[in-house]
Structures are given as structure tokens and as C-alpha cells.
Structure 1
């Protein structure tokens, strides 16, 4: 059953793991922690995590489990829907001590997952892997376990996508400032429309190349395009233009009201300060 699991990790979890690795003690070569999230229909969605202080020796592992449970209980007060789903560790491989740590998390949740994040950037990339522990052995004989890889990928909420796009703008640039400011709502809409237009141009160009038999078509791409076309509402051009214009007017009205409320609050704050003086 555990082999059918797949893991979806949110970007904020990766940022937290990297931050914990950067803040580690000088004598720590590996950092571990608890994964929090939900498990539904064979998909483990990891939405949060925290670091667990520990020390690894040649023959044993020392972890502050009481600290881990205290942090978990505090997190439950803030978000009761997040449960323990497994644990994470920095590095690109499973170590000899991983089975001992995994045994603890097996008592805290059913079928815990183990995620490794290669913060050393081996191979010029941050490798992300996920495992489940499968029991091995013979009946009434010696028992063991084996970490088996499972599918792992990224999942994003819409606010996370906005944050990632903003972070992406700070990459590169040489000597330029790596600080960026969030754009206004209308500027974000214009940028998204421009990107969408560019993607549509690429799709049209690819379809024309396939029809002209200059490029070999792919069945998966064709099915995806067919699904995309069928998802578009069947509306006349005039009806679609009117609906789109109405949506834009609603957006402009919301932006205007938000700016008016913000201005009113600022004026009220200044008037309150003046009267108090």
C-alpha cells in the first residue's frame, strides 16, 4: 500500500529546509526535521515542516523528541489540519541512522514518508527525493527494512506562485540590485496576459510545424491541447468580449475601492494623531 503513495511538496517547505541547513551548528553535517501536511487518496501533500535538533554518532542517534512534540502541538493550535506525515533530512542519500529515525515517525503516523534534499548542490542542482520504508524478512525470522523511492513533485498555491515569480526576478543580473518590489494588481494582470500570449504563440507555431510535417507530433501533447480546447466555453466572439470587458470593469472597481479605503484609513490615522496632540 505504501508503494502507491506519491508526495507533493510546497515551495515554502523547501525554503524552510534550506534555512534550517544554513542555520545549523558548525559541527552538524546533516539536519533533520518533521514534515507536516495531509494524506488523501494516496497523495501526501506536505505544506509545512520544522527542524528537530539531533546529534549523530557512530553507533547511535540523539534527537530532542520532546522538543519535536512541543513544536508539533503548538503548530496544531494554529493549523489543526496539518498532521505529521513523515520526516526530512538534508543530503542526497539514506544513511545508516535513517532507519532508527524512521522507526520513531512510524509510531507517530501511518506510512511515514522520508524526503531528502541535497543542499550541497551535487551535480549543480538541488536533488529532491522521497522514500517509504518497506519491511523485509521471513516469518518468525530476522526482520529488516528497505527505503524504496516513490514519486515526488512540487505543488503550489496561487499566492506561492506569485512569490516564486517574484523570487525568480532576483536571479542573475550580475552586479544589479537583487531587490525587487511587488507589482500593482493591474501590472501583474498585464504581465500574465503577455506571458499567456507568448505561450499561445508557441503552441500555434508547434501545431503549424506538425501539420507541415516538419516536426513529429506527440500523442501526449495532442491530448493536452484537445483537453485545453474543450475546456474553453463555447461563446460567440461578441459575447466573450462583453464578458471579458465586464470582468475587467469589476476588477477596476475593486482596485479603486481598495485604494479609496486605504486612503481613508491613512487620513483617519493622521487625524487621530493630530487630535491626540
Structure 2
């Protein structure tokens, strides 16, 4: 049953792992920690994590388990829905000490997952892999375990998508250009509209090339375009334009009211401060 697990990881977890790796001690070559999230019907969704201090020797592993439990209990006070679902480690392979660490997490949760993140950027990629431990051995004989790969994918909430798009603007930049400020609401709407227009141009070009016989059509792409066309409301062009304009006006009104309320609260705060002085 464990082999059918699917692990979905949120970007904030990757950021936390990289941050823990950057803050590691000079003599630490690998960093480990606890994965937090939910597990339901064969899908493990990892939404949070934290680092667990440890030391690895040739014949043993020393981990501060009391510290790990204290951090977990503090996190439970903030978000009671996050439970222990496994553990993570930096690097691109499973080491000899992984089975010992995995045995501890097997006592903390059912079917824990093990995730590795290659922070060395081998091949200019940050390799992300997931494993489960499958028991091996003969009845009434010596027992062992084997780490078997499972599917791992990234999943994002809408606010996380905005953050990732903001981080993407710093790629290839240097110096002050790497510092990007969040864009205003209307600017984000304009950027989203520009990206949508660019995507529609690409789709239109693809359809025209397939219709003219200059490119080979793909059934999956055709079904996706047909589903997209059927999802549109059956309105005339003028009616759709009027409805869209009305929605935009409502959006602008809400943004304006929000800005007015924000300004009024700031003025009230400053007046209160001046009066108290």
C-alpha cells in the first residue's frame, strides 16, 4: 500500500530546507528535519517542515529528538491540522544512517515518507526525490528494509503562486536588481492580462498551423482546447464585453474603497499618536 503513495510538496517547504542548509554548521555535510502536513487516501501533502539538529558518525547517529518534539508541539499550537508525515534530508542519495532515522519516524507516524533535496545543484538542477521504506526478509529470520522511490510533485496555493512569480523576476539579475518589490493590485492584473494575451496568441498560432497542415495536431491539445471553448459562456461579443467591463468596474471600485479605508486608518493612527503626546 505504501508504494501507491503520492507526495505533494509546497514551495515553502523547499525554501525552508534550503534555508536550513545555508545555516548549517561548518562541519555538517547533511541536514535533516521533520516533514509536517496531512495524509489522506494515499496522498501525502507536505505543507511545513523544520530542521532537527543531528550529528552523524561512522557507526551511529545523534539527533536531538527532544528538541524535535518540542518544536512539533509548538507548531501544533499554531496549526493543529499539521501532523508528522515523514522526514527530509539534503543530498541526492540515501545513506547508511537513513534506516536508523526512518525507524524513529516510523514510531511517530504511520508509513512515513522520506524526501531528499539535492542542494549541491548537480546538473544545474535541485533534485527532489521521495521514498518509502519497504520491509524485507524471510519469516522468523533477519529483517531489513529497502527505500523504494515514490512519485513526488509540487503543489501551490494561489498566494504561493504570486510569491513564486515574484521570485522568478530575480532570476539572472544581480545587485540591486535582485530586490523586487510586490507590484500593486492593478499592476498584477495588467501583468496577468498580458500573460493571458500572450498564451492566447500562441494557441491561435498553433491552431492556424494545424488547420493549414503545417504542423501535426495532438489529440490531448485538441481535447483541452475543446474543453476550454465549451467552458466559455454562450454570449454575444457585445454582451460579453459589457459584462466584462461591468466586472472590471466593480473590481476598481473595491480596490479604491480598500485604499480609502487604509488611508483613513493610517490618518487615524497618526492623529491618535499626536493626541497622546
Q: Into which bin does the TM-score normalised by the smaller protein fall?
A: over 0.9
Alignment of 1:159-170 (within 5 A): 159-170=159-170
Q: Which runs of 5+ in 1 are unaligned?
A: none
Alignment of 1:4-15 (within 5 A): 4-15=4-15
The alpha carbon displacement at 1:2 in A equals: 0.8
Deviation by residue 1:97-155 (Cα, 9 ceiling, x = unmatched): 11111111111111111100000011111111111111112222221111111111110
Matching residue of 1:51: 51
Matching residue of 1:124: 124
TM-score norm. by structure 1 comes to 0.96
Q: Distance in 2 between matches of 1:174 and 1:70?
A: 40
Equivalent residue pairs, number: 277
Q: Relative to 1, partners in 2 of residues 1:71 and 1:193: Cα closer, same or farther, differing over 3 Å?
A: same
The alpha carbon displacement at 1:45 in A equals: 0.8
The alpha carbon displacement at 1:179 in A equals: 1.0
Mean CA deviation greater in 88-97 or 163-172:
163-172
Alignment of 1:1-277 (within 5 A): 1-174=1-174, 177-277=177-277
The alpha carbon displacement at 1:175 in A equals: 5.2
The alpha carbon displacement at 1:51 in A equals: 0.2
Q: Which runs of 5+ in 2 are unaligned?
A: none
Deviation by residue 1:215-241 (Cα, 9 ceiling, x = unmatched): 222222222222322322333323322
Q: Relative to 1, partners in 2 of residues 1:233 and 1:137: Cα closer, same or farther, differing over 3 Å?
A: farther
- SS, match of residue 24 in structure 1: coil
The alpha carbon displacement at 1:47 in A equals: 0.5
TM-score norm. by structure 2 comes to 0.96
Deviation by residue 1:158-204 (Cα, 9 ceiling, x = unmatched): 11111111111112134552111111111100110000010111111
What's the RMSD between the two structures over aligned residues? 1.3
- SS, match of residue 94 in structure 1: coil
The alpha carbon displacement at 1:59 in A equals: 0.9
Q: Distance in 2 between matches of 1:224 and 1:61?
A: 51
Q: Distance in 2 between matches of 1:143 and 1:223?
A: 50
- SS, match of residue 178 in structure 2: coil
- SS, match of residue 70 in structure 2: helix
